[in-house]
Chains A and B, each alone.
Chain A
Amino acid sequence: MTKKAAIFITAVGLAAALYFSLHRHMRTRAADSPAPAVALVDLDGSTIDLSTYKGRVLLINFWAAWCVPCRQEVPRFIALEEKYRPQGFQAVGISLDDPEAALRDFCRQYKVNYPIVMGNQKIAEAFGGVLGLPTTFLIGRDGRIHAKYVGSTDFTKVEQEITVLLKGRSNF
């Protein structure tokens, strides 16, 4: 190997290490487990059963209105919902640790176009534990958890995965 090639490879390796160490997004693949069958309650008091979304690609976002990176993501989820809902996509926001009044104000202000539900310990543990915000799950048409994102979401990656999942056949 020439000296220039060695220097180039070293520089690329250092740049990659720096990028991944600074990047806050962590994509940890879930264990390809079925999405939990949990009943969620939205701000109007209506019960939402995740099984009613069978056959659709679901994005479940655990968040809180006081969480700055969570709030920054909401407009992106709104855009995804608008763009992909006709193709069978559905976003659901599960709020952890927010007063209902604060949530209503937030949804009104941001014109949230997907269901926002109140979370609790049981729901968080049903998803394997939510120990940091934001945490986002992608569920395929087959009802299985395809990916779990901890920390701020890489929307380019998520949108790519959504389009792939939307092309998948439903096993329901």
Chain B
Amino acid sequence: MWELRLRRPLSRPERNPANPRKAGRHVAYTSGTMRHNARLFQILPAALLIAAVVAVAQSGLRTGENFKEQPTATELQPDNRELIRPDDLAKSLQSSTAKPAIFNVGPRLIYVQAHIPGAEFIGPTSSPQGLETLRTHAASLPRNSLLVIYCGCCPWEHCPNIRPAYKELKQMGFTRLKVLYLPNSFGTDWVEKGYPVQKGE
């Protein structure tokens, strides 16, 4: 014997004692609303599955390795595979494997107070002069060098420097480019976490 819970219980006149399936503990949908809800529960899982497949496919198209065209300012979302988290970079710097080249593309006043050990100061790449400096410093590097760029001047989504630097280096052909993801600032996401710093020029 089976029983379905109805949103609206069947009223006494709706029960059909002549039909043994609807009598006693056997109940069935009798209203159009309930038949509609049943169809919805059948369609919904399929719709969710399709949406999930589309979302996965689109996220794959947004990754750096799948670029077929120039990156735009909408790139570098937090889930981008070319981002590197502070803890991962810190571990990489402490390991014995080859260290990446690190470029700081933020303001000098923040760089001189504290920067990642070994980071080369490029300066703000929000300006044409800054981009020219970046090109000059990057020109001698093999294009398959492991290169990390970072800024941390202000909250990630507002940083005027990191995206132009990223775009420029991608256009130059760097294939192993990583961008240090600092969601709040260099101070909050690197220094206050206790990762290594250097001071001065």
A residues adjacent to B (C-beta < 8 A): 24, 26, 28, 64, 66-70, 96-97, 119-121, 124-125, 129-135, 150-152
A132 lies within 8 A of B184 (CB): yes
Determine the residue in chain A with the shortest Cβ distance to B185. Answer: A132
For A24, the chain B residues whose CB sits under 8 A away are 155, 183-184
A114 to B49, CA, bound (A): 57
Query: How many residues of B sit at the interface, in one of the four size bands?
Result: 20 to 34
User: Interface of chain A, helix or strand or loop or mixed?
Assistant: loop
Interface residues of B in 5-20 (CB under 8 A from A): none
B188 lies within 8 A of A132 (CB): yes
A57 to B152, CA, bound (A): 30
For A130, the chain B residues whose CB sits under 8 A away are 109-110, 113, 187
| Chain A nearest CB, measured from B126 CB (Å) | 7
A97 lies within 8 A of B186 (CB): no
Question: Does any Cβ of A come within 8 Å of B139's Cβ?
Answer: no
Q: Chain B, 7-44, contact with A by CB distance < 8 Å: what is the 0/1 string? A: 00000000000000000000000000000000000000
For A151, the chain B residues whose CB sits under 8 A away are 155, 184-185, 188
Given the interface pairs A131-B152, A152-B155, the reply to whether A64 lies near B184 with Cβ below 8 Å is no
For B107, the chain A residues whose CB sits under 8 A away are 64, 96-97
For B155, the chain A residues whose CB sits under 8 A away are 24, 69, 151-152
B153 lies within 8 A of A67 (CB): yes
A121 lies within 8 A of B185 (CB): no
For A121, the chain B residues whose CB sits under 8 A away are 109, 112-113
Most chain-B Cβ atoms within 10 A of its Cβ — which of A70, A133, A151? A133
Given the interface pairs A66-B126, A131-B114, A132-B152, the reply to whether A150 lies near B188 with Cβ below 8 Å is yes
B154 lies within 8 A of A68 (CB): yes
For A68, the chain B residues whose CB sits under 8 A away are 154, 158, 160
| Chain A nearest CB, measured from B161 CB (Å) | 9
For A124, the chain B residues whose CB sits under 8 A away are 109, 113
A125 lies within 8 A of B153 (CB): no
Known A119-B109, A130-B113, A131-B186; further 18 A-B contacts with Cβ < 8 A: A26-B188, A66-B124, A67-B154, A68-B158, A69-B154, A96-B107, A97-B108, A124-B109, A130-B109, A131-B113, A131-B185, A132-B152, A132-B153, A132-B154, A132-B186, A150-B188, A151-B188, A152-B155
A67 to B155, CA, bound (A): 9
Given the interface pairs A96-B109, A121-B112, A121-B113, the reply to whether A129 lies near B153 with Cβ below 8 Å is no
Question: Does any Cβ of A come within 8 Å of B172's Cβ?
Answer: no
B187 lies within 8 A of A66 (CB): no
Question: Does any Cβ of A come within 8 Å of B191's Cβ?
Answer: yes
Given the interface pairs A97-B109, A121-B112, A132-B152, the reply to whether A69 lies near B158 with Cβ below 8 Å is yes
A129 lies within 8 A of B187 (CB): yes
| Chain B nearest CB, measured from A61 CB (Å) | 13
